[in-house]
Amino acid sequence: MHFKWDYEPPTSNEIQAAEELAAELGKSPIVARLLMQRGIRTLDEAKRFFRPQLPNLYDPFLMNDMDKAVDRLNAALGRKEKILVYGDYDVDGCTAVALVYKFLRQFYSKIDYYIPDRYEDGYGVSDKALEYAREMDVKLIIILDCGIKANEQIATAKEMGIDFIVCDHHMTDDDLPEAVAILDPKRKDNTYPFEHLSGCGVGFKLMQGFAKSNGIPFNKLIPLLDLCALSIVSDLVPITDENRILCFHGLRQLNHAPSIALKAIMETCGLTDKEITINDITFKIGPRINASGRVQNGSETVDLLIETDYEKALEMARNVNEYNEQRRDIDKQMTDDANQIVSRLETQGHSSSIVIYDESWKKGVIGIVAARLMERFGKPCFLLSKDGTTLISVVPVLGSANAVTLPASVLKVGDNAFSGNTSVVSVDLNNATHVGDNAFRGCRSLTGVTGAKLTYIGNNAFEYSAITSVPDLTNVDHIGKYAFAQTAIASLSLTKDGATIGEYAFTDCKNLATVTLGDDVTIGNGAFLFTCDATYNYDNDLTSLTIGENAVIGDSAFRGADRLT
């Protein structure tokens, strides 16, 4: 693989500024120039960089909704409500759950945790998890490293009488979940000074806010910093600003006073009595913590991370180490299989990218294999596998296949399965009945989709694609929000009685001329809304609309359809 390096030489002003900073620091101009390339331009900023201090951590209440989150948590403790700490199954999610659970468990006993199973629950908030919470009479869920896009599930939980505090660090949509509080430094209305916290880092800030509101000394949080360091390094967030402080002191904790669990893991890694570095986390500790979620269930990782008996922790660490060995074997076999498939592709040498499929590939490892292929061949790779009857994918970027026919055994196209693929021109859904959220979103070359068995089309499923006609909708009873927004479809026939069309499902489909809908349909707000230009010209082709009896039509559903007669 060949790399192209883009380097912009410093300007004369930058060289002069670096020399001035070097003089203040008593360091070489090269060091000063490197600092300036990292955005460090003053003596005070350089001191903070070289000497990370815990007192320089930001006030947690600078984060949007922190006051609401702490108030709701305090209320739960005061009312003796059952609390469930919920997190993703990777290193960041598991360390976040362990950190919040360990800290709160010192002060409160009615608390439990839940890590979704990668294979049974899938990513994020599952129906299975909500049912578990209801059965356990949970009233508050603190969700970490996921949840920012679980709008429907959190709304369902609210109907069950379960509140959510969301602690996430991923990009948000315009519509936020109906949670009591949403702690996410990437919110569009963010007020927090640093936006690159890990999921565990956001959980730490919640605990810092909780401690501050209850007069709990900050030093009670210091033993948890090793978990912060693991999450920051393993989740590849920038080790700058507040992350640099948390990571520096987390590494110090790992080296001088690691938790029972991490001491056991370090023994299985051969790191006992050795100085732990970021490389050790990256290549030894992190992969072992990750392996449980990839091969078995991430809850075993949390069981280990909260264990207080060293002998038990050591036995659990050995189990996790075995999972890591299994993960390596699976990784090697899948990589070998993928390389063999690619080598048999006659067009591989001339294609701009690679798309390959094997239904036996393991969901928890497929991403690692995709990354290896990208590194070897120097081009985007699109790997497909199957989870039960669901088509799943990893690295959904430029694909090399123009026409895709799904295997007959695939009944569901998973969320984000082809999202962003700019090479696929046509798709035959074959026997698939379900197209998940964002499944074909942004497929700019996709013009044709066929399939006669569809019943469900998720949110944003075909948004921003180039499709000119919808697949057979005879049996479809649900079309999600923005499902076909800004596409080139010319006609729509959704005749199943009682069908639901989500908000803005067909907004700005300006080639859409004919729409036929059945009886008892529910049409969401703005479902067929057309926007106008600066001169209030509504440019669209909708001239024929037929709707059956007893339709429920939302606000602005057909706004701008000024050619209807």
pLDDT tens digits along 271-305: 999 999 999 999 999 999 988 877 777 789 999 99
CB of 495 closer than 8 Å to CB of 516: yes
Closest C-alpha to 177, from 163, 198, 196: 163
310-344 vs 260-268: helix crossing angle, rounded to 10: 50
Query: E strand or H helix at 390, and its extent?
Result: strand 390-394
**Residue 279 Cα distances to 165, 249, 263, 325, 343, angstroms:** 33, 16, 17, 19, 33
Q: Phi first, then psi: what are they for 321, rounded to 5°?
A: -65, -35
CB of 103 closer than 8 Å to CB of 221: yes
Angle (nearest 5°) at CA 150 between 145 and 153: 125
- pLDDT tens, position by position, 144-153: 999 998 999 9
> If you write DSSP's letter for every residue of 527-559 in order, what string do you get?
TT-----TT--------EEEE-TT-EE-TTTTT
CA dist., res. 2 & res. 379, Å (int): 11
Q: What percent of the chain has pLDDT over 70?
A: 92
Lowest mean pLDDT among 97-101, 220-224, 401-405: 401-405
Between strands 390-394 and 381-387, the pairing is: antiparallel
Give 349's strand partners: none
Confidence of residue 230 (pLDDT cuts 50, 70, 90): very high
Q: Is the pLDDT of residue 396 over 50?
A: no
- CA atoms 252, 256, 262, 266: torsion sign: positive
- pLDDT of the residue at 221: 98
Which amino acid belongs to residue 196?
H
Confidence of residue 537 (pLDDT cuts 50, 70, 90): low
Q: Decide which of 120 and 190 is more confident.
A: 190
> If you write DSSP's letter for every residue of 83-121 in order, what string do you get?
EEEEE-SSHHHHHHHHHHHHHHHTT-SSEEEE---TTTT
Q: Is the pLDDT of residue 139 over 70?
A: yes
- pLDDT of the residue at 157: 96
Chain-centroid distance of CA 449 in Å reads: 27
- pLDDT of the residue at 400: 40
Q: Is the pLDDT of residue 23 over 70?
A: yes
Say what the pTM is. Answer: 0.70
- pLDDT of the residue at 372: 80
CA dist., res. 298 & res. 185, Å (int): 25
Q: Is the pLDDT of residue 413 over 50?
A: yes
Token pair, residue 550, equals 């007893």
- pLDDT tens, position by position, 432-469: 899 988 888 888 888 889 888 899 999 999 998 989 88
**Residue 563 Cα distances to 269, 486, 512, 533, angstroms:** 70, 19, 12, 16
Confidence of residue 314 (pLDDT cuts 50, 70, 90): very high
Confidence of residue 397 (pLDDT cuts 50, 70, 90): very low
CA count, 13 A, side-chain hemisphere, 221 = 23
- pLDDT of the residue at 535: 54
- pLDDT of the residue at 398: 33
Q: Decide which of 390 and 430 is more confident.
A: 430
Confidence of residue 399 (pLDDT cuts 50, 70, 90): very low
- pLDDT tens, position by position, 470-493: 888 889 999 999 999 999 898 999
- pLDDT of the residue at 563: 72
Three-class SS string for 271-336? CCCCCCCHHHHHHHHHHHHHHHHHHCCCHHHHHHHCCCCHHHHHHHHHHHHHHHHHHHHHHHHHHH
Torsion of CA 485, 489, 490, 491, to 10 degrees: -80
Mean pLDDT of 210-225: 97
Lowest mean pLDDT among 47-56, 320-329, 373-382, 543-552: 373-382
CA dist., res. 91 & res. 230, Å (int): 7
Going by the DSSP 8-state scheme, the letter that residue 517 receives in this structure is E
- pLDDT tens, position by position, 491-531: 999 989 999 999 999 988 888 889 999 999 999 998 998 76
| Polymer length of the chain | 565
CA dist., res. 386 & res. 412, Å (int): 9
Question: How confident is the prediction for the chain on average, in pLDDT?
Answer: 87
Chain-centroid distance of CA 14 in Å reads: 38
Q: Decide which of 354 and 182 is more confident.
A: 182
Q: Is the pLDDT of residue 382 over 50?
A: yes
